[in-house]
Amino acid sequence: MVASPAPAPEAKAPSAFARFKLHDALLRGLDAAGFESPRPIQAATIPAGLQGRDVLGLAQTGTGKTAAFALPICHRLLRQRGRSPRALILAPTRELATQIAAEIKTLAKFTKLRLVTVFGGVSAKNQIHQLNQYPDIVVGCPGRVLDLIGQGKLKLGQVETLVLDEADHMFDMGFLPDIRRIMSSLPDERQNLLFSATMPREIRKLANDLLSDPEVVELADAAPAATIDHALYPVAETRKRALLDRFLASKDCRSAIVFTRTKHRAKRLAQQLEKAGHRATSLQGNMSQGQRDRAMRGFRAHSFDVLVATDIVARGIDVSNVSHVINFDVPMTPEAYTHRIGRTGRAEKSGVACTFVTGGDREWVRDTERMLGKPIERRNMPDFDAGDVNLAPAKAARGGGGGGGRGNARAGGPGKRAGGGKRGGSRGGAGGRGGSGGSTGGRNSSRGAASRGSRSASAKSSGSSSSGGARSSSAAAQPSANGVQRGRRVRKPGARF
Ligand code: AMP
């Protein structure tokens, strides 16, 4: 009798990442992290990153961009020896820096690469101690990085790769001068990877100065992920709280992030919700780092069901399973809308995003729809009196009703009208948008510039859903097999990206 051959041990299908010929330890890390196939931004940028080329990635958090830059960096660090630190990753907030560091540690779990995270708001002592241990990668916020350079504790003369993550947000927070100072202490010969969700004028200029012959990859970022069900809820300012209660009471609302315009509103609303029996906490710029960490940990662990946050601190937060994003106040800019609602529907899960809009938010609605290239659906909470609200453009409002389409504050629900049929602007409208959310140590905050410099609606509207594809802003863009478009642009003096 002939013995049958023994079954091959662990006949596992090769990871779809294998095609990048990444270091084995990274493939193991990807496998352990459960990353089965590359996201569009990863498929489009990893090859260029591995070749040592510069990359301009127009993509936001939630698309998988951390691994898109981390994998080539780690691979190159593992392939060749060098002196510490060899990669510098700059991020606008402590939360994002921590998140990037955590993701890299996960992916590099089976390597001996060392990483240190540096940010303000906590003592520098431990960070300096870790810097003395020759880390390969430094992830940090510009302010603290610059302080440590100034103290002679961080020497960047050996850096081979610089990453600027959420560059537009760093600009919003007034970090651009710090970034330029940091750049001046880096070797001229290096790889630069720049990621930004939007391209305000200043970031285009930075990209022109920084990048040489970059691979330009543009995700159709302006559009919210297809997994997000998002709508506007016209409501009078005085009825917002009641509307919020209705959302939070719904059984589908398992875990919600509620955005407010100012840190004071975030704090007060969280306290009110807590008094009303919700497990709520806030995340805003007036909190110490320890308080913020506790809030985030509690929210992640589901000790809190509601997190009331301001834009800046909440940006970049990666929490899976957020069922609802509720914009209690509209964000400062249309771009921030996509960022905010991207906190739900993450990692290809589905999510709901509701934006409360008052008559005072008319302009914001118009600009955001222009940015998205299409109207956002208006809805009404059934059997809820939303109070007086009129979203019709000023001209149409004078004319008495304005006709269908985008401007009108139709109640949307079965036969209901948010404005109760009345004309005129909302009482308690949004008011001025001067009060920004809590800043996390940003300097000379210059908000609003992002919207000034944003790309045109027509340029943005041509993409597909955010997680579904990427395209190049280059004239020579080539569609690839997976529906991703990318391009390469030769840098000319004065060329714009
Ligand atoms: P990021 O945009 O880098 O913040 O990534 C968003 C989330 O997607 C993070 O939780 C990542 O761990 C996860 N992620 C990134 N790439 C992949 C992938 N290829 N497969 C599965 N999950 C991923």
Identify which of 391, 383, 390, 394 has the alpha carbon closest to the alpha carbon of residue 422.
Answer: 390
3 state SS of 403: coil
Distance 347 CA to ligand 1 centre (A): 6
Q: How far is CA 44 from CA 19, 306, 459, 497, in A?
A: 13, 36, 20, 17
Round to whole Å and give the CA distance between 459 and 222. 10
User: Which structure tokens are listed for 390?
Assistant: 């009129």
For ligand 1, atom 18, which residue shows the shortest CA distance? 35
Rounded Cα distance, 111 and 332, in Å: 42
Residues with a CB atom less than 6 Å from ligand 1: 35, 38-39, 42, 61-67, 103, 318, 347
Of the residues 100, 318, 466, which should be mutated to test ligand 1's pocket, given the most ligand atoms within 8 Å of the CB? 318
Q: What is the DSSP string of 82-103?
A: -PSP-EEEE-SSHHHHHHHHHH
How far apart are the C-alpha atoms of 20 and 18, rounded to whole Å? 5
How many angstroms separate the Cα of 52 from the Cα of each of 101, 124, 160, 278, 491? 21, 32, 9, 50, 16
Question: For residue 199, how far is its CA from the centre of ligand 1 (angstroms)?
Answer: 23
Taking the centre of ligand 1 as the mean of its atom positions, its distance from the CA of residue 67, in whole angstroms, is 7
139 forms beta bridges with: 89, 117
The pLDDT profile of the chain, 497 residues, written as one tens digit per residue, is 444 444 444 445 557 899 999 999 999 999 999 998 898 889 989 999 999 999 999 887 677 899 999 999 999 999 988 889 999 999 999 989 999 999 999 999 999 999 999 999 999 999 999 999 999 999 999 999 999 999 999 999 999 999 999 998 898 888 999 999 999 999 999 999 999 887 777 888 899 899 998 998 876 555 566 677 889 999 999 999 999 999 999 988 888 999 999 989 999 999 999 999 999 999 887 888 788 888 888 888 889 999 999 876 665 566 667 889 899 999 887 767 877 777 666 554 568 889 999 999 998 898 888 777 788 999 999 999 999 888 776 554 333 333 333 333 333 333 333 333 333 333 233 333 233 333 333 333 333 333 323 322 222 322 333 333 444 333 233 333 233 334 443 232 223 33
Q: How far apart are CA 325 and CA 231, in angstroms?
A: 11
pTM for the model stands at 0.57
In angstroms, what is the span from residue 63 Cα to ligand 1's centroid? 7
Helix 201-210 and helix 176-184: axis angle, to 10°? 10
What is residue 17's DSSP assignment?
G
What distance in angstroms lies between residue 89's CA and the mean position of ligand 1's atoms? Answer: 17
Ligand 1 pocket mutation pick from 35, 45, 166, 343 by most atoms within 8 angstroms of CB:
35
Domains and CATH numbers, the chain: 16-222+442-491 (3.40.50.300), 228-400 (3.40.50.300)
Q: Which of 463, 461, 458, 485 is CA-nearest to residue 474? A: 485
Closest residue CA from atom 6 of ligand 1 = 62
Closest C-alpha among 23, 17, 24 to residue 42 = 17
- The DSSP code for 217 is E
